[in-house]
């Protein structure tokens, strides 16, 4: 898999899906109840692939719910020349560091340190990448966050974000052709609904299933095996009808083990 060609195909998707006129139309309120403030929701999270993912023997994607703050807001993205290139630079800076133009003033720069991560989501990503899956790719299920105040910026329920995210995610899968996907989206607030809309041919594999906490399924359309489990930030919250026998970290270890067991079976 040629990573330059892969990125070119992804860029084409983003150019089509994140077309300025299309975005303006998509987020235009039909009435006051549907109004979405593009000065609050985040700029889109897009991918900048590298050789590590494309050369990996096992292609695995690690998927979060949505960003919790990102580069600027959607209106910054709309009004910034060459904004896709800026966002790819922002994505890359998360891993290798460097300077990225600020959203409100492109003549000023934000400096990032390589993998300067304090949040549990990216720490879990790093743990899985460094110990088990070289080339592990970080993606987000919903491409923009709500911009709400506080620690949670969930975008579930914002229909324009859901619609464009589903469309982009499907097309990303067609290009990236993952063998496995790990969704860290928990079960609440409708994320399973989005996953099921993307993988409308999903088949649950009951060999690894803990209600609310770990769901394994397969998709023939995309040729991959998926796992949906708790977000790394999750605590041991008990569900009245769920099976909360294990810690969050233990669920991730089950996924790692299952992937390697199935790979050995296929050899």
Q: Which domain holds residue 141?
A: 3-266
The average pLDDT across 168-179 equals 98
The average pLDDT across 10-24 equals 94
Query: What total of structural domains would you count in the chain?
Result: 1
Q: 50-89 pLDDT, tens per residue?
A: 999 999 999 999 999 999 889 999 999 999 989 999 999 9
Residue 193 to residue 199: CA distance in whole angstroms: 10
Phi, psi for 206 (deg, rounded to 5): -75, 0
The average pLDDT across 19-39 equals 75
CB contact at 8 A, 194 and 165:
yes
152-156, 223-227, 231-235, range with greatest mean pLDDT: 223-227
- Whether the per-residue pLDDT at 194 is higher than 80: the answer is yes
Query: Of 61, 22, 89, 13, nearest to 219 (Cα)?
Result: 61
The average pLDDT across 92-99 equals 96
Residue 170 to residue 197: CA distance in whole angstroms: 10
With a pLDDT cut of 70, the percent of the chain lying above it is: 91
- Read off the pLDDT band of 25 (50, 70, 90): confident
Of 234 and 143, the structure prediction assigns the larger pLDDT to 143
């Amino acid at each position: 898999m040629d990573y330059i060609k892969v990125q070119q195909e992804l860029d084409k998707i983003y150019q089509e899906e994140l077309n300025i006129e299309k975005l303006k139309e998509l987020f235009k309120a039909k009435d006051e109840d549907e109004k979405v403030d593009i000065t609050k929701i985040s700029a889109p999270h897009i991918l900048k692939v590298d050789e590590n993912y494309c050369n990996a023997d096992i292609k695995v994607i690690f998927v979060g719910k949505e960003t919790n703050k990102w580069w600027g807001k959607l209106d910054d993205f709309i009004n910034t020349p060459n904004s896709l290139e800026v966002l790819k630079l922002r994505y890359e800076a998360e891993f290798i560091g460097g300077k990225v133009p600020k959203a409100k003033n492109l003549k000023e720069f934000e400096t990032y340190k390589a993998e300067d991560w304090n949040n549990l989501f990216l720490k879990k990503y790093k743990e899985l990448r460094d110990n088990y899956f070289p080339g592990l790719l970080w993606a987000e299920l919903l491409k923009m966050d709500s911009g709400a105040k506080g620690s949670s910026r969930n975008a579930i329920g914002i229909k324009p974000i859901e619609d464009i995210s589903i469309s982009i995610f499907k097309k990303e899968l067609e290009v990236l052709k993952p063998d496995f996907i790990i969704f860290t989206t928990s079960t609440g607030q409708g994320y399973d609904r989005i996953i099921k809309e993307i993988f409308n041919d999903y088949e649950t594999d009951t060999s690894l299933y803990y209600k609310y906490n770990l769901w394994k399924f397969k998709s023939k359309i995309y040729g991959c095996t998926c796992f949906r489990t708790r977000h790394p930030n999750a605590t041991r919250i008990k569900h009245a009808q769920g099976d909360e026998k294990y810690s969050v970290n233990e669920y991730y270890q089950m996924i790692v083990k299952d992937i390697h067991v199935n790979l050995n079976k296929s050899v």
